[in-house]
């Protein structure tokens, strides 16, 4: 009889352990299901909704308000107008898509694009670009200010010369819509921050420590993203703790983000995720995670750049993002500028809704964002 005690005791212990594991597994599964349901409901509520306000607190108008009738298009074509595109930064897929949308619609409207410039996030370079572009006598300038204060005086000179100004995302300081410029066209940047927060929370199962890498600049839209992400996490996911925050100023945004992520991962070995303010910094976070052997790190961001899209397609590191619609934004900006040439009054702030992107819809989202099929390497990266 004594020989049976140990096997019986072992069997009993194993049964208890299996029961405990089963109970834990069931509990975890239930918690994940609850988080999934919460995230799904939040994303459903956001569909077609814009949460952001304009730079002066304006309510957003729909991009549909920029559409031109056939008669209006004919009026614009008859002008033989010229346009210039003065970018803040050209080093990402978002900027490329904006320019493509602008060029495409300007061509449809018979407007010649005489210059496209890239300030590399340097206000003094953008001021110089504006001065150079003005020598080409454009009727329209579409631009995004690198710094709303440092560039303001130059934009005011452009406006005073009679050029129709349309801004992406933000307006320079002390300039008024309808008087100094036509309109501001933007994505729902606050909403994109909200979207990325929900997708991060889903990937974490609603619990864990995370770091935040934000844009350390007086830049309206990146501030909105940061605020949208942080407020959503703190208000809706009490078991997700933001334990580290670091700003990056660029221009080497990927390198700066990699250094910030390295520091976070070193200080917090149990860090479960990192949010990056857009796709280029997210690439730096990916590099840091790989170097540290942290392939389990969850990364959320904004903007559907090709490299983060491929990671999302492979289910590697990037767990979700809020995408802008830059091609459509460019089309809208061109239409608003053209309308201003023929005396149309525009809404002061026009915004396009955020697009949640996860592994399951990354190929479809690419087509929505860029108005083109996903490139071959992205398609081949997708794991069903």
Condensed to tens digits (0 to 9), the pLDDT of residues 207-249 reads: 999 999 999 988 888 999 999 999 999 999 999 999 999 999 9
What values do phi and psi take at 356, rounded to 5?
Answer: -70, 130
Strand order in the sheet with 273-276: 240-248, 208-215, 273-276, 298-302, 318-323, 355-357
* pLDDT value at 14 more than 50: no
Query: 288-297 pLDDT, tens per residue?
Result: 999 999 999 9
Which CATH class, in words, describes the domain spanning 63-188+327-353?
Answer: alpha beta
**CATH topology identical between 63-188+327-353 and 189-324+356-381:** yes
- Which pTM was predicted? 0.83
Band of pLDDT at residue 48, cut at 50, 70 and 90 = confident
Band of pLDDT at residue 384, cut at 50, 70 and 90 = low
Q: Where are the domains of the chain?
A: 63-188+327-353, 189-324+356-381
* pLDDT value at 40 more than 50: yes
pLDDT over 90, % of the chain:
86
* pLDDT value at 17 more than 80: no
- Please, are residues 341 and 81 in contact by the beta-carbon 8 Å criterion? yes
The mean pLDDT of the chain is 92
Band of pLDDT at residue 28, cut at 50, 70 and 90 = low
* pLDDT value at 24 more than 50: no
* pLDDT value at 26 more than 60: no
Query: 62-75 pLDDT, tens per residue?
Result: 999 999 999 999 99
Which residues are 245's β-sheet partners? 212
The per-residue pLDDT for 220 is 87
CATH for the stretch 189-324+356-381 = 3.40.50.2300
The per-residue pLDDT for 89 is 87
Distances (CA, A) of 141 to 119, 192, 362: 15, 27, 33
The per-residue pLDDT for 15 is 47
Cβ-proximal residues to 344 (8 Å cutoff; 6+ apart), any chain: 68, 72
Q: Is 345 left (phi over 0), alpha (psi -120 to 50) or beta?
A: beta
Tokens 């602008």 found at: 102
- Please, are residues 338 and 68 in contact by the beta-carbon 8 Å criterion? yes
């Amino acid at each position: 009889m004594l020989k049976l005690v140990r096997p019986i005791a072992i069997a009993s212990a194993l049964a208890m352990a299996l029961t405990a594991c089963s109970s834990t597994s069931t509990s975890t599964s239930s918690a994940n299901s609850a988080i999934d349901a919460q995230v799904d409901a939040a994303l459903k509520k956001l569909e077609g909704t814009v949460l952001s306000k304009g730079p002066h607190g304006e309510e957003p108008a729909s991009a549909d308000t920029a559409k031109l009738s056939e008669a209006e298009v004919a009026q614009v074509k008859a002008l033989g107008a010229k346009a210039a595109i003065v970018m803040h930064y050209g080093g990402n897929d978002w900027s490329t898509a904006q320019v493509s949308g602008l060029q495409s619609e300007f061509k449809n409207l018979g407007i010649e694009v005489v210059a496209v410039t890239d300030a590399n996030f340097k206000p003094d370079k953008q001021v110089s670009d504006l001065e150079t572009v003005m020598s080409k006598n454009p009727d329209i300038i579409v631009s995004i200010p690198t710094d709303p204060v440092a560039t303001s005086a130059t934009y005011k000179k452009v406006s005073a010369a009679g050029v129709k100004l349309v801004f992406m995302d933000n307006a320079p300081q002390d300039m008024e819509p309808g008087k100094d410029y036509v309109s501001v066209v933007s994505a729902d940047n606050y909403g994109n921050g909200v979207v990325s927060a929900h997708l991060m929370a889903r990937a974490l199962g609603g619990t864990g420590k995370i770091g935040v890498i934000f844009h350390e600049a007086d830049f309206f839209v990146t501030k909105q993203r940061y605020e949208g992400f942080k407020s959503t996490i703190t208000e809706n996911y009490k078991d997700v703790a933001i334990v580290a925050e670091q700003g990056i100023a660029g221009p080497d945004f990927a390198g700066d983000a990699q250094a910030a992520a390295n520091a976070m991962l070193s200080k917090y070995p149990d860090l479960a995720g990192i949010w990056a303010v857009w796709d280029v910094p997210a690439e730096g976070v990916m590099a840091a995670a790989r170097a540290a052997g942290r392939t389990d790190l969850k990364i959320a961001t904004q903007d559907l750049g090709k490299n983060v899209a491929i990671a999302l397609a492979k289910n590697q590191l990037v767990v979700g993002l809020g995408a802008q619609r830059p091609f459509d934004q460019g089309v809208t900006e061109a239409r608003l500028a053209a309308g201003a040439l023929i005396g149309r009054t525009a809404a002061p702030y026009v915004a396009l809704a955020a697009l949640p992107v996860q592994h399951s819809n990354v190929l479809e989202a690419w087509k929505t964002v860029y108005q083109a099929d996903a490139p071959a390497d992205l398609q081949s990266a997708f794991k069903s």
